[in-house]
Amino acid sequence: MYPVLFEIFGFPISTFGVMLAIAFLTGTWLVARRMQELGIDPEKATTVLLYAMIGGIGGSKLYFAIDVSLREDIPFTQLLFAREGITFYGGLIGAILACLVAARVHAIPTNALFNCLAMAAAIGQALGRIGCFLVGDDYGRPTDGWFGIAFPEGAPPTLERVHPTQLYEAAWLFALTAFLWARRDRSPRLWAEYFMLAAVGRFAVEFLRVNPRVWMGLSEAQLIALGFFAIGAMSWIHARRGLATAVA
């Protein structure tokens, strides 16, 4: 694995950080292209993605600090300003709230904006998982399968061969990106489909992860995934019914 690519004036540049930068650039390109297709000024794509990035990082760190401080009695501020601690669902919630602000400030229709962001979210999440794999984070349970990988420099290190769950989820998300792109002109609510299908992938992969089970044998991430699936499903059905009523 390659946790650190190089250093600049003693400051380490991690592969995860590089993958986040690639995810941001790729997502910006996708959002701009979709905005142009919908007649929205594509120049606003970079601005919106900056909102999403700031909200995502802030939400991720805040979720991590609150969660771990409550479970492990570690000082909140110590966790908040630590370099580690990027949690996906905290980041997603933070990015959603920031993009709602961006839609209002920059006069972009909210539903159209979130439909544009759906594909960027999927591919950004996939590239982020590649970053997790490169630094040896968020791997799964031990396995004797040929596909098992050891992470001697991981976080935490392991010499056992484990499920590379980062790659499993990344493969699902790359496929989801292609699916959403194909559906972009046909879906009644594209972001709701992202919510549902990304949640399905995360829910399934969690069975191979080592995260603690908190309720009925499910992890915290699985419970949140169920919530996102429910929100997506209800929103999609509502949009579908509205479309059917308009046609009728």
Candidate from 42-56, 125-139, 233-247 with smallest mean pLDDT: 233-247
User: pLDDT at position 119, please?
Assistant: 92
**Average of pLDDT values for 147-161?**
88
Beta-carbon-side half-sphere exposure of residue 33 (alpha carbons within 13 Å): 11
Say if CB 5 and CB 13 are below 8 A apart: yes
For 5-19, the pLDDT digits (tens) are 767 767 777 788 888
Share of the chain above pLDDT 90, in %: 55
CA distance 126 to 131: 9
* Nearest CA among 51, 53, 55 for reference residue 94: 55
pTM: 0.87
Crossing angle for the helix pair 110-135 and 165-183, nearest 10 degrees?
160
Strands (E), the chain: 4-8, 11-14, 149-151, 158-162, 213-215, 218-219
Q: Is the pLDDT of residue 81 over 70?
A: no
- Per the omega criterion (within 30 degrees of 0), is the bond before 156 cis? yes
Q: Is the pLDDT of residue 161 over 80?
A: yes
CA distance 3 to 134: 6
Query: What residue numbers bound the domain in which 162 lies?
Result: 4-247
Q: How many structural domains does the chain have?
A: 1
User: pLDDT at position 207, please?
Assistant: 95
Residues 6+ positions from 146 with CB-CB distance below 8 Å? none
Q: Is the pLDDT of residue 83 over 90?
A: no
User: pLDDT at position 140, please?
Assistant: 92
User: pLDDT at position 85, please?
Assistant: 64
CA distance 82 to 60: 12
Cα dihedral 133→88→37→30 (10° resolution): -30
**Average of pLDDT values for 148-158?**
87
Question: Per the structure block, which two tokens stand in for 224?
Answer: 């949140």
- Tell me which amino acid residue 182 is: A
Q: Is the pLDDT of residue 191 over 80?
A: yes
CA distances from residue 163 to 146, 155, 204 in whole angstroms, order as listed = 10, 14, 13
* Nearest CA among 184, 191, 143 for reference residue 167: 143
**3-class secondary structure, 149:** strand
**Average of pLDDT values for 102-120?**
92
For 31-69, the pLDDT digits (tens) are 999 999 999 999 999 999 999 989 988 888 888 787 777
User: pLDDT at position 241, please?
Assistant: 81
